C-alpha cells in the first residue's frame, strides 16, 4: 500500500517538477511571478488535443509541437507585454500576468467552449509485482524526466544555460559580462512556456481538458518552488517529487479536497519558517 | 558601578552562504562620542550596521544597547529603544512630503510632532520644501531629510551610513557641525565613511574592518599610521 | 460657497438623491444601484489593504464568501433576521482575516500574493467538505423575502462607511504609516514602525465591508452556492476598479466602481461572451498605461491632496 503510494507520488511528482521548473526559471531570471503559467499549460493541452484528434496521430508525437507552439506564444507575450514590467514593482508584474491569465482562459472559453475534452490513447495499467502503474502516468513520467533532464543539461552545459544562470544570480553582473539580458528574458519565458506546454500535452491523455484546468497547476507550481527554494533550480526537482509524495500520502487519509487544504497550510507554514524555501533559495 | 556603555558588541559573526561578512567583531561605544567605522569595500561595515539594527539576524555573538540585549529583536523594536540609522542608499519615503516623512516616524501628539519636525526642517534649510514630495527633492536634499528623520525620535545612538557621499562641501560642513552638536548634547554617533578627511576631522575613535574582522581601533592619527590598516587599503 | 463647503455639499447632495431614488426608480434601477454600492464596498475595502500598504490581496473575495456563508447559515438554519446576520457576516470575515493574516502578512510581497491566490481554492474545498452545514455544491437556500429596498439602504450605508473610513485613515498618521509600508518597508521598520501589526490592522479593516456585503447579497439573492460567492471574477473586478480609479485615494475606488460597472452592464448587454476577456485586457492596459489610476494621475499632475 505504502509502496504504491510512493510510486504514484514519484510518477506525478516528476510532472510537477517539470512544470514548476518553468515557473522557477521565470521567477529566478526575471523576478516575476507568472500567474499565467497554468493557462499556458492549458493551451499546451488543447494543442495536443486538436493535433491528435484532427490529424489522428499519437498524442505523444505532438508533445514537441505543443512545446514549440507555446515557446512561440511565450516569446510573443514576453516581447509585447511582460518585458514592460520586469523592473516595475511586484504589484505590476503580478497584476499583468494575472490579466494575461484571465484573458487566456477566457479566450480558450470563447474558442473552445467549456465542454470537457479528452484524448483517448493508452488505457489501463502495467502490473509490476504488487504494484499497478497507470500506463499514461508512466509514459508521462518518462517524458517529464527526460525533458527535465534535458533542461538541466541546457542549464549546466550550454552557453545559453550559463547565461541564464548568470542572469538569475545578478542581472547587473550579467550585463557587464556582455550577456544580452533582454534576449535571455525572452528565451527564458519561451522555455518556461514550453515546459508548461509539455506538462499540458502529457496530462491531456490523463485528465479532462477544459479552460480552467491550469489554475491548480499554477498554485502547485508555486508550492513546488516554495518547497524547493526560490531560484534554486535543482530544488524545483526535489520540490516536485516531494509534492507528489505528500499529495499521494495525504489522499490515503483525507479526501482530495482536504488534501488541497493540507497543501495550502503546508505552503504557508513553510514560508513562515523558512522564507527561502525548504531547501534554501534566494530571498527576494 | 559605572553606567553601561551605549553599545556593546561581543564577537558578532554573520555569514551569507559561504561568505563570512562579519567575523567575530567586538566593540564598545561610550556616550557622547563620535566614532568612525572604516575599511575597504566589502569589509562588512554595512552588514555590521544591519546586524546592530536588526535588519539582519546574527549567527553568533551579542549586542547590548545601554545594558539591554537587542540582538534578536525586530528592527522596529530596536529603533524604539533608541537606535537610529541612515542608509547607504537613501531611503526616504518618496510619495510622502518632506514634512510627512518626519511626522510619520513618531507617535507624539501631532502638534508637538509638527513643531519638532518644522524645527528640524528649518535646521537643514528644507522648511520651504516641506510639502514637496520627498521623491522630487535633489540628492543632497534627500540626504539631509533622511538625516533629520533619524533625529525625530531623539535616539541615543545614531548610525550614519556614508553621510558624506555625494554631498557638496557647504552642505557637508553643516552636516558635520550638526553631528558635533549632537555629540555635545550627549548623543553617540557611529559613522561609516570613505571620505578620510571627514573621518579624521570628526571622529574621536576609529574602528577599522577588513574582511569582516576588526584589525585596528584608536584615535584617527594613530590609525593612519597603523601598518595593518595601510596594508588593508593598499596591499603589501 | 467656499471650497470646503462645496466639497461637503456635493457628496451630500448625491447621497440625498440616492436616498430618494427607490421612490422613483424601477426594480432594475434599484438593483443596479445596489450592485454599485456593493462594488464600492468591495473596491474601497481592497484599497485599504492593497492600495495603502501595497500588499496585493488576491483572495479578497474570500471575505465576501465567508460573510455570505456565515450570514446565510444563520438566516436559514437559525432563523436570524438579515440585518443581524449581515453584521455577523462582517465579524466572520474579520475572524478569517485574523486567521489568514496573522501568518501570511509576515510573508514578503510576492509570497503573500501566492498565499492569497490559494486561499480561494482552499475555502471552496472547505465549503464542499462541510456539506452538512453549507449545503456543499448544492448551495444553500434562504426563506423567501423581498427585502431589496431595505438592503439597498443598508448596502448604501456600508458603502458610505467604507468611504468615510478610507478618508479618516488617509488623513491620519496611521494611514501615513500604512503608506510607508508601501514606499519602503525596510526603512519603515528601521524608523520604529511595527509594520506587521499595521498590516494586520489594515487587513482586518479591509475584511469587514466584504463580509457584510456578502451576507447582504446572500439575503438579496435568496440562494448561494460556492461558485457564486467565491468567484475569481469578483477579485479581478475589485482590483481593476481600484487600479482604474486610483489606488490609495479616497474616491478612486468609487470612480472605478461606477465607471466599470456601467461599462460592464453595457458591454455585457451587447457582447455577453466577451466581457471577461475584456476585463483581462483592461487589467493589462491599466497596469501598463496608467498604474496609478485616473485620480492617481490627477493627484500627481495637479498636486491634489490625497483625499480626493
- Mean of per-residue pLDDT scores for chain A: 86
pLDDT tens digits for A73-96? Answer: 999 999 999 998 887 777 788 888
Residues A246-279 have pLDDT tens digits of 888 887 777 766 777 777 777 777 777 766 655 5
Q: Is the pLDDT of residue A280 over 70?
A: no
0.90 surpassed by pTM: no
User: C64 near C229, Cβ under 8 Å?
Assistant: yes
By a Cβ cutoff of 8 Å, what residues of chain B touch chain C? 53, 55, 74-77, 79-80, 84-85, 87, 91-96, 100, 103-105, 107, 110, 149, 153
Q: What share of chain B is helix, strand, coil (3-state, %, to 5)?
A: 40, 25, 35
pLDDT interval class at A284 (50, 70, 90): very low
What is residue A102's predicted lDDT score, i.e. its pLDDT? 85
Q: Chain-wide mean pLDDT for chain C?
A: 87
CA angle A201, A243, C118 (to 5 degrees): 85
What is the rounded average pLDDT of the residues A14-39?
91
Residue C272 domain-assigned?
no
* Mean predicted confidence (pLDDT) in B132-138: 93
The stretch C174-190 carries a mean pLDDT of 94
Name which of A97-111, A269-283, C72-86, C281-295 the model is least confident about: A269-283
> How many residues are given for chain C?
308
Q: What is the DSSP letter of B97?
A: B
**CA C273 from chain center: how many Å?**
25
C227 touching A (Cβ < 8 Å): no
Closest partner residue to B93 (CB to CB) among C173, C180, C192 is C180
Mean pLDDT of chain B: 91
pLDDT of A283: 45
Res. A1: pLDDT tops 90: no
More confident residue, B185 or C140: B185
The residue with greater pLDDT, C161 or A171, is C161
Q: Do A33 and C119 touch (CB under 8 A)?
A: no
List, for residues B43-54, the tens digit of each pLDDT value. 889 999 999 999
Contact between C274 and A110 under an 8 Å Cβ cutoff? The reply is yes
**For helices A181-203 and A159-169, angle between their N-to-C axes, nearest 10 degrees:** 110
Cβ contacts (< 8 Å) between B103 and chain C: which residues? 173, 176
Q: Does C297 touch chain B (CB under 8 A)?
A: no
* C98 lies within 8 A of chain A by CB: no
Chain C CB within 8 Å of residue A111 CB = no
Check pLDDT > 90 for residue B19: no
CB contact under 8 A, C108 and A284: yes
Query: Among C179, C190, C303, which would you mutate to test the B interface (most chain B Cβ atoms within 10 Å of its Cβ)?
Result: C190
For chain B, say whether C179 makes contact (Cβ under 8 Å).
yes
Put simply, whether A86 touches C (Cβ < 8 Å) is: no
* Contact across the interface for C277 and A103, Cβ inside 8 Å: yes
Record: contact A107-C277, CB cut-off 8 A: yes
Contact A99 C283 (CB under 8 A): yes
Whether the predicted pLDDT of C201 surpasses 90: yes
pLDDT at C280: 79
Confidence band, pLDDT 50/70/90 cuts, at residue B236:
low
Burial status of residue C159 (CB atoms within 10 A of its CB: 0-12, 13-18, 19 or more):
buried
Nearest-neighbour CA in chain A from C146: distance (Å)? 34
Of A222 and A43, the structure prediction assigns the larger pLDDT to A43
Q: Tell whether A88 lies on the interface with C, counting CB pairs under 8 A.
A: yes
H/E run at residue B60 = strand B60-65
* CB B31 within 8 Å of CB B188: yes
Q: Would you call C290 an interface residue with chain A, using a CB distance cutoff of 8 Å?
A: no
Subunits with 3+ C-beta pairs closer than 8 A to B: C
End-to-end CA distance of chain C: 19
Q: Confirm if B34 and B183 have CB atoms less than 8 A apart.
A: yes
Return the pLDDT at C226: 77
Measured between CB atoms, which of B87, B93, B153 is closest to C192?
B153
Q: What is the pLDDT of residues B193-209, one digit of tens each?
A: 988 889 999 999 999 99
Report the alpha-carbon distance of residue C291 to residue C287 in Å, rounded.
Answer: 5
Residue C67 within any structural domain of the chain? yes
Would you call C190 an interface residue with chain B, using a CB distance cutoff of 8 Å?
yes
What class has domain A2-273?
Answer: mainly alpha
Query: What is the percent of chain B with per-residue pLDDT over 70, rounded to a whole number?
Result: 98
Sign of the torsion angle spanned by Cα atoms C242, C247, C250, C256: negative
For cell 517539470, name the residue.
Answer: A18
Confidence band of A231 (pLDDT split at 50, 70, 90): low
Who wins on pLDDT, A282 or C298?
C298
How many domains are contained in chain C? 1
Q: Does A121 touch chain C (CB under 8 A)?
A: no
**B-chain residues near C184 (CB < 8 A):** 91, 93
How close does chain C come to B227, measured CA to CA in Å?
Answer: 37
Nearest chain C residue to A90 by CA: give it.
C110
Q: pLDDT, tens digit, for every residue of A149-172?
A: 999 999 999 999 999 998 988 888
Give residue C142's domain range: 25-232
Report pLDDT digits (tens) over B75-88: 999 999 999 999 98
| pLDDT, greater one: C125 or A192 | A192
State the helix-helix crossing angle for C148-170 and C27-46, rounded to 10 degrees. Answer: 30
What is the CA angle B87-B89-B92, rounded to 5? Answer: 75
Residue A209 DSSP class: B
Bridge partner residues of C109 (DSSP): none
pLDDT at A36 over 70: yes
Alpha carbon of C74 to those of B104, C97, C210: distances in Å?
43, 20, 17
Nearest CA in chain B to C296: B95
Of A231 and A222, more confident: A222
pLDDT at A33: 85
- Using 50, 70 and 90 to split pLDDT, how confident is the model at C96? very high
Amino acid at each position: 500500500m505504502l509502496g504504491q503510494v510512493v510510486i504514484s507520488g514519484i510518477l506525478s511528482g516528476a510532472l510537477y517538477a517539470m512544470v514548476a521548473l518553468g515557473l522557477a526559471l521565470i521567477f529566478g531570471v526575471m523576478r516575476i511571478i507568472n500567474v499565467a503559467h497554468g493557462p499556458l499549460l492549458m493551451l499546451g493541452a488543447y494543442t495536443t488535443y486538436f493535433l491528435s484528434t484532427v490529424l489522428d496521430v499519437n498524442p505523444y508525437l505532438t508533445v514537441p509541437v505543443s512545446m514549440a507552439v507555446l515557446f512561440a506564444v511565450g516569446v510573443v507575450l514576453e516581447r509585447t507585454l511582460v518585458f514592460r514590467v520586469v523592473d516595475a514593482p511586484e504589484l505590476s508584474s503580478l497584476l499583468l500576468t494575472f490579466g494575461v491569465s484571465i484573458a487566456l482562459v477566457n479566450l480558450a472559453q470563447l474558442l473552445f467552449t467549456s465542454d470537457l475534452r479528452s484524448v483517448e490513447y493508452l488505457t489501463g495499467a502495467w502490473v509490476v509485482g504488487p504494484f499497478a502503474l497507470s500506463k499514461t502516468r508512466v509514459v508521462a513520467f518518462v517524458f517529464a524526466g527526460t525533458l527535465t533532464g534535458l533542461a538541466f543539461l541546457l542549464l549546466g552545459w550550454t552557453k545559453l544555460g550559463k547565461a541564464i544562470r548568470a542572469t538569475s544570480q545578478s542581472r547587473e553582473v550579467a550585463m557587464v559580462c556582455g550577456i544580452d539580458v533582454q534576449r535571455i528574458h525572452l528565451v527564458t519565458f519561451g522555455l518556461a512556456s514550453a515546459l508548461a506546454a509539455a506538462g499540458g500535452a502529457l496530462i491531456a491523455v490523463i485528465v479532462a481538458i477544459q479552460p480552467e484546468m491550469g489554475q491548480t497547476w499554477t498554485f502547485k507550481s508555486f508550492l513546488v518552488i516554495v518547497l524547493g527554494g526560490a531560484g534554486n533550480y535543482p530544488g524545483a526537482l526535489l520540490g516536485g517529487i516531494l509534492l507528489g509524495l505528500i499529495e499521494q500520502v495525504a489522499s490515503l487519509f483525507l479526501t482530495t479536497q482536504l488534501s488541497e487544504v493540507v497543501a495550502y497550510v503546508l505552503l504557508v507554514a513553510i514560508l513562515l519558517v523558512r522564507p527561502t524555501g525548504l531547501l534554501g533559495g534566494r530571498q527576494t | 558601578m559605572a553606567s553601561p556603555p551605549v553599545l556593546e558588541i561581543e564577537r558578532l559573526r554573520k555569514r551569507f552562504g559561504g561568505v563570512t561578512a562579519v567575523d567575530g567583531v567586538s566593540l564598545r561605544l561610550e556616550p557622547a562620542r563620535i566614532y568612525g567605522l572604516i575599511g575597504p569595500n566589502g569589509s562588512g561595515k554595512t552588514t555590521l550596521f544591519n546586524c546592530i539594527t536588526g535588519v539582519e539576524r546574527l549567527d553568533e555573538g551579542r549586542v547590548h544597547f545601554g545594558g539591554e540585549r537587542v540582538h534578536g529583536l525586530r528592527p522596529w523594536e530596536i529603533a524604539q529603544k533608541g537606535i537610529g540609522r541612515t542608509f547607504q542608499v537613501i531611503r526616504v519615503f518618496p510619495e510622502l512630503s518632506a514634512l510627512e516623512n518626519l511626522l510619520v516616524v513618531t507617535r507624539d501628539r501631532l502638534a508637538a510632532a509638527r513643531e519638532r519636525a518644522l524645527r528640524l526642517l528649518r535646521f537643514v534649510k528644507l522648511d520651504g520644501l516641506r510639502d514637496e514630495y520627498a521623491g522630487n527633492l535633489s540628492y543632497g536634499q534627500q540626504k539631509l531629510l533622511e538625516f533629520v528623520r533619524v533625529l525625530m525620535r531623539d535616539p541615543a545612538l545614531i548610525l550614519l551610513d556614508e553621510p558624506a557621499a555625494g554631498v557638496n562641501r557647504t552642505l557637508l560642513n553643516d552636516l558635520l557641525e550638526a553631528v558635533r552638536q549632537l555629540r555635545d548634547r550627549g548623543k553617540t554617533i557611529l559613522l561609516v565613511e570613505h571620505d578620510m578627511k571627514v573621518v579624521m576631522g570628526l571622529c574621536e575613535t576609529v574602528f577599522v574592518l577588513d574582511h569582516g574582522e576588526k584589525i585596528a581601533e584608536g584615535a584617527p592619527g594613530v590609525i593612519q599610521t597603523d601598518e595593518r590598516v595601510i596594508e588593508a587599503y593598499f596591499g603589501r | 460657497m467656499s471650497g470646503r463647503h462645496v466639497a461637503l455639499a456635493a457628496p451630500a447632495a448625491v447621497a440625498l438623491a440616492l436616498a430618494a431614488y427607490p421612490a422613483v426608480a424601477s426594480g432594475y434601477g434599484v438593483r443596479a444601484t445596489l450592485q454599485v454600492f456593493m462594488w464600492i464596498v468591495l473596491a474601497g475595502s481592497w484599497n485599504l489593504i492593497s492600495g495603502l500598504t501595497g500588499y496585493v490581496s488576491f483572495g479578497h473575495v474570500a471575505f465576501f464568501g465567508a460573510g455570505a456563508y456565515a450570514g446565510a447559515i444563520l438566516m436559514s438554519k437559525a432563523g436570524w433576521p438579515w440585518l443581524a446576520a449581515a453584521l455577523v457576516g462582517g465579524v466572520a470575515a474579520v475572524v478569517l482575516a485574523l486567521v489568514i493574516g496573522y501568518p501570511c502578512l509576515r510573508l514578503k510581497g510576492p509570497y503573500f500574493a501566492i498565499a492569497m491566490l490559494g486561499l480561494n481554492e482552499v475555502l471552496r474545498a472547505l465549503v464542499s467538505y462541510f456539506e452538512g452545514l453549507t449545503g456543499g455544491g448544492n448551495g444553500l437556500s434562504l426563506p423567501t423575502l423581498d427585502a431589496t429596498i431595505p438592503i439597498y439602504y443598508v448596502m448604501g450605508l456600508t458603502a458610505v462607511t467604507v468611504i468615510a473610513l478610507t478618508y479618516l485613515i488617509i488623513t491620519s498618521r496611521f494611514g501615513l504609516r500604512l503608506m510607508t509600508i508601501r514606499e519602503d518597508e525596510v526603512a519603515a521598520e528601521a524608523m520604529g514602525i511595527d509594520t506587521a501589526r499595521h498590516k494586520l490592522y489594515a487587513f482586518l479593516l479591509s475584511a469587514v465591508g466584504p463580509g457584510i456585503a456578502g451576507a447582504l447579497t446572500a439575503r438579496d439573492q435568496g440562494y448561494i452556492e460556492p461558485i457564486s460567492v467565491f468567484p475569481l471574477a469578483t477579485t479581478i473586478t475589485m482590483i481593476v476598479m481600484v487600479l482604474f480609479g486610483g489606488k490609495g485615494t479616497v474616491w478612486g475606488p468609487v470612480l472605478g466602481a461606477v465607471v466599470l460597472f456601467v461599462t460592464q452592464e453595457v458591454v455585457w448587454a451587447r457582447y455577453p461572451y466577451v466581457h471577461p476577456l475584456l476585463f483581462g485586457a483592461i487589467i493589462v492596459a491599466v497596469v501598463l498605461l496608467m498604474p496609478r489610476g485616473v485620480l492617481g494621475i490627477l493627484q500627481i499632475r495637479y498636486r491634489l491632496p490625497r483625499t480626493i
